[in-house]
Amino acid sequence: MSTTSKTLTFNKSTSRANPTPSPMKRLTVPRIRQRKNGEPLVMLTAYTVRMAQLLDPHCDMLLVGDSLGQVIYGLPHTVAVTMEMMAAHGAAVVRGSYHAAVVVDMPFGSYEASPQQAFENASRLLKETGAAAVKMEGGRVLAPTIEFLTQRGIPVMGHVGLTPQAVNILGGYGVRGKSAEEAKSIVDDAIAVSEAGAFSLVIEGVLEPIAIEITQKVACPTIGIGASAQCDGQVLVTEDMLGLFDRVPRFVKKFGDMAQQTEEAVKQYADQVRNRTFPSADQLYQPE
C-alpha cells in the first residue's frame, strides 16, 4: 500500500524553519526497492528546507541533485559542484522532510578514483546530512564501487544514459543511444549497476526503447527522466517543472508558471513601495 496519499499537517505557529509534522515514518530503501513493477515512484529534486517541506507529502524520494550547481549557484555545469555544497543542501532537505527518502548526489571527483575514496565521501555525506542514500553516475566501470559501498551499508542509486558529470566527454546534453552500439552499451551499463547492488537506477536522456528494455531486464526500480513512462518511476528538476526557467530540456513538462507569478508579485511589491502604500497599517506597530 502506498503512503503517498498521507499528508502532513504543519503547525503554523512554529517558526518557518521548523514546522511540526504529523507523525509519519520515512520511506526506507528496502521499501523503495520493493516498488519494482508496482505503483510508480515519484521523485523530485530539492535543495532547501522550504522546498523539501512542500514536496515531501507528495514524493517517495527527494533527490538533492548536483543540478544545484546550475539551479542554485548559476554554474555552467555540474562538474564544479563540491562536497561542501552537497553536504549543506542535503542536510537542509533532510531537516525539511519527514516522509520521503532523501538521496544525495555524489559530486564529480568524489568517487571515481577508487572504491575506498567513494566510501569515505559517501559515508561523510550520510553522516553530515542524515540522508538515506547516495547517487553516482556511471555504468560498468562503476559496478565494483557500487558493490563495495552496498556491502558496507551504503545504499546507492545508479545513473546511466545521459550522465551530466561526463559532459566534457559526451560533448553536450544530447539524447543517448542513437547507434545500436551505444544503445547496447547503455543497457549493459544498467544491468551491471543493478547486479552490483544499486537499489534503484536513474535512466536519463535515452531513446525510449532503451529505457523500456532496461526496465524489463534489471531487478531494481528504474527512475526515468527523458526516458519512458514505462519506467518504475519519474524524476524532474523541480524548478524546471514549476516553470521557473524559460529554457528547459525537451523532456520537461511545465506543471506551473512560477516565473510569471513571481515577477507579478515582485512588481506589485515594488509599485507599492514606490507609491508608499506598503507598509500599511496592517504591517506596522503603533504605540498603545
Is 257 annotated as belonging to a binding site? no
- CB contact burial 193-206 (16+ within 10 A = b; e otherwise): bbebbbbbbbbbbb
105 is annotated as contributing to ligand binding? yes
Write down the catalytic residue from 147, 204, 213, 239.
204
CA dist., res. 107 & res. 230, Å (int): 28
d(CA 157, CA 285): 52
**Residue 66 among known ligand-binding residues:** yes
137 annotated ligand binder:
yes
Q: Indicate if 264 belongs to the active site.
A: no
Binding residues for Mg(2+): 66, 105, 137
Catalytic site positions: 204
Binding residues: 66-67, 105, 135, 137
Binding residues for 3-methyl-2-oxobutanoate: 66-67, 105, 135
